């Protein structure tokens, strides 16, 4: 709780504001590192140097020191940074420094100040739906030209975090669809939706099969935006609002965080919002297949065979491999439109986490040059991805004895790859396609990465799209 401030004032307080030339009374933050500490010290008063020595400030990355003027006022903040990691440089400060307004000093070792400001803002995020903010963020005053591009990324990241953090009771398929509708309204995009049995009428049988056991109807939401003559971009996101595993029920531990299984949908929606805000030169389609993977008498069973939209027959080996099932109808539909590019995001497999850990989304691509460009974009914006192969010989791991293939093989080896190979069957070989298997979650608090829902791979793909579809 922030000193008795009403909630509307708390929300109004932002981690970033515009900096103006005449501004006074904002506290300078100077970045430094062990190699530059001597030069930094020379700019200080004798009393301040003594203070630094007393607290043992060695400019290690993450260390910071508050320096005061003779009258006791906060005069300057020194922070040790790794100049190669600008995004993390200030990430801890916005939630640690005393509330007030700061700016980056002209002196300092950071070259990418915009990335540092982004890290500052990302570190100030708090999820306030169920309790008031724990504190007001410290505010960073940034050059006016930086504010709008930063706000887009900050809003998009907060949207992913908020949606993923919201429990299923408050974010079922209907509420997820409502979030897409809000974005459609803001950007005057067209919205279409197939709910419940309408999915069967419109030939989305696999989405229906996964979602039919829940009392909250499955749906497919489609947002379209942009000039029909521009290159077609389709974004797809896995919107499993809760994944019990279905009849192949997860264990308690395995189920605990499965409210986040719509993280792919949150990424796709946030990316669509960025594309529309940046007015990229595309005809955009956003597809969100959304369901609850629940247990009931009406649930799909292991051994059932489902005819997918594409006409391919899938034998259900495991009802917990449900993400690829809802995605395959959406990808088939996307592919029918012969787009310039399809990008899908999904919290698809535990195997991707075994391979790469929580922080590195797995990237799959059916074009090498495309993958290279996305990886490079991710490196450039501090949002790394790692590529895994669509290794053709592993397709046989999905052989079925009675249908075209199974949704998951008996062997769990290469689980992220076999899931991607399953999806690939529904994308025309002529269509460039990117698939991100992402965790969408921080297991613990770290600077700039609060515990809970997280955007991973979002800024990377957006940077890539900005390059590909610049106005």
User: Where does this chain bind ligand BES (CB under 6 A)?
Assistant: 243, 261, 318, 320-323, 347, 349-351, 408, 415, 439
Residue 322 or 344: the one with the smaller Cβ distance to Zn ion is: 322
Least gap, CB of 347 to ligand BES (angstroms)? 4
Q: Which of 243, 292, 315, 383 binds Zn ion (CB under 5 A)?
A: 243
C-alpha gyration radius of the chain: 24
Site map (CB under 5 A) of Zn ion, residues 199-238, x = contact: ----------------------------------------
Size of the site for Zn ion (CB under 5 A): 6
Residue 258 or 365: the one with the smaller Cβ distance to ligand BES is: 258
Question: b/e string for 121-155 if b means 16 or more Cβ within 10 A?
Answer: bbbbbbbeeeeebebbbbbbbbeeebbeebeebbe
Question: b/e string for 276-308 if b means 16 or more Cβ within 10 A?
Answer: bbbebbbbbbbbbbbbbbbeeeebbebeeebeb
- Residues 204 and 252: their CA atoms lie apart, in Å, by 31
- Residues 91 and 31: their CA atoms lie apart, in Å, by 13
Instruction: Report the helix count and the strand count for the chain, using DSSP H and E.
Output: 16, 20
* Residue 349: contacted member of Zn ion, ligand BES, none (CB under 5 to 8 Å, by partner type): ligand BES
The H or E element spanning position 148 is helix 144-165
- Residues 165 and 455: their CA atoms lie apart, in Å, by 12
Residue 30 or 292: the one with the smaller Cβ distance to ligand BES is: 292
Least gap, CB of 361 to ligand BES (angstroms)? 11
- Residues 194 and 191: their CA atoms lie apart, in Å, by 10
Please list every residue from 311 through 350 that binds Zn ion, using CB under 5 A: 320, 322-323
Least gap, CB of 324 to ligand BES (angstroms)? 8
Residue nearest to ligand BES (CB): 350
Angle of helix 263-277 relative to helix 458-468, nearest 10 degrees, comes to: 30
Longest CA–CA span in the chain (Å) reads 82
Least gap, CB of 288 to ligand BES (angstroms)? 16
CB-side neighbour CA atoms (13 Å) of 228: 1
Task: Pick the closest to residue 467 from 375, 382, 350 (CA basis).
Answer: 375
Residue among 324, 353, 459, 468 flagged as catalytic: 324
User: Should residue 437 be labelled a site residue for Zn ion when binding is judged by CB under 5 A?
Assistant: no
Residue 67 or 160: the one with the smaller Cβ distance to Zn ion is: 160
For the question of residue 190 being annotated catalytic, the response is no
Residue 17 or 295: the one with the smaller Cβ distance to ligand BES is: 295
Least gap, CB of 331 to ligand BES (angstroms)? 16
Residue 65 or 241: the one with the smaller Cβ distance to ligand BES is: 241
Please list every residue from 253 through 292 that binds Zn ion, using CB under 5 A: 261
Least gap, CB of 270 to Zn ion (angstroms)? 19
Residue among 43, 49, 250, 281 flagged as catalytic: 250
For the question of residue 309 being annotated catalytic, the response is no
> Residue 398 gets which letter from DSSP?
G
Binding site for Zn ion (CB under 5 A): 240, 243, 261, 320, 322-323
**Residues labelled as active-site residues:** 250, 324
């Amino acid at each position: 709780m922030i000193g008795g401030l009403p909630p509307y004032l708390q929300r109004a307080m932002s981690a970033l504001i515009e900096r103006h030339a005449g501004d006074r009374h904002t506290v300078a933050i100077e970045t430094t590192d062990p190699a530059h500490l001597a030069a930094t010290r020379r700019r200080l008063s004798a009393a301040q140097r003594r203070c630094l020595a007393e607290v043992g400030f060695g400019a290690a990355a993450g260390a910071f020191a508050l320096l005061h003027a003779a009258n006791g006022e906060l005069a300057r903040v020194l922070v040790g940074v790794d100049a190669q990691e600008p995004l993390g440089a200030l990430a801890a400060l916005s939630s640690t420094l005393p509330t007030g307004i700061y700016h980056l000093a002209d002196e300092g070792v950071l070259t990418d100040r915009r990335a540092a400001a982004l890290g500052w803002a990302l570190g100030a995020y708090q999820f306030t739906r169920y309790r008031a903010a724990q504190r007001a963020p410290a505010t960073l005053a940034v050059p006016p030209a930086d504010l709008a591009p930063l706000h887009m990324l900050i809003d998009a990241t907060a949207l992913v975090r908020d949606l993923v953090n919201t429990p299923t009771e408050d974010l079922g398929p209907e509420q997820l669809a409502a979030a897409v509708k809000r974005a459609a309204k803001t950007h005057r995009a067209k919205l279409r939706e197939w709910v419940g049995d309408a999915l069967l009428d419109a030939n989305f049988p696999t989405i229906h099969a996964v979602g039919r056991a829940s009392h909250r109807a499955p749906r497919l939401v489609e947002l379209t935006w942009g000039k029909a003559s521009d290159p077609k971009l389709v974004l797809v996101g896995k919107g499993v609002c809760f994944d019990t595993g279905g009849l192949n029920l997860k264990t308690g531990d395995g189920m605990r965080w499965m409210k986040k299984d719509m993280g792919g949908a949150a990424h796709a929606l946030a990316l669509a919002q960025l594309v529309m805000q940046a007015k990229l030169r595309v005809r955009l389609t956003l597809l969100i297949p959304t369901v609850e993977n629940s247990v009931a008498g009406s649930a799909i069973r292991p051994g059932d065979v489902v005819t997918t939209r594409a006409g391919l027959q899938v034998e259900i080996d495991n009802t917990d491999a449900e993400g690829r099932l809802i995605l395959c109808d959406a990808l088939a539909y996307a592919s029918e439109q012969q787009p310039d590019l399809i990008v899908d995001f999904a919290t698809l497999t535990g195997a991707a986490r075994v391979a790469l850990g929580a922080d590195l989304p797995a990237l799959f691509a059916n074009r090498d040059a495309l993958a290279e460009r996305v990886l490079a974009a991710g490196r450039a914006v501090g949002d790394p991805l790692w590529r895994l192969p669509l290794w053709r010989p592993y397709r046989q791991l999905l052989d079925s004895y009675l249908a075209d293939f199974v949704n998951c093989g008996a062997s769990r080896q290469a689980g992220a790859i076999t899931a991607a190979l399953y999806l690939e069957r529904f994308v025309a070989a002529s269509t460039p396609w990117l698939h991100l298997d992402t965790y969408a979650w921080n297991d613990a608090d770290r600077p700039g990465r609060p515990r809970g829902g997280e955007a991973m791979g979002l800024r990377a793909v957006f940077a890539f799209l900005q390059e590909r579809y610049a106005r």
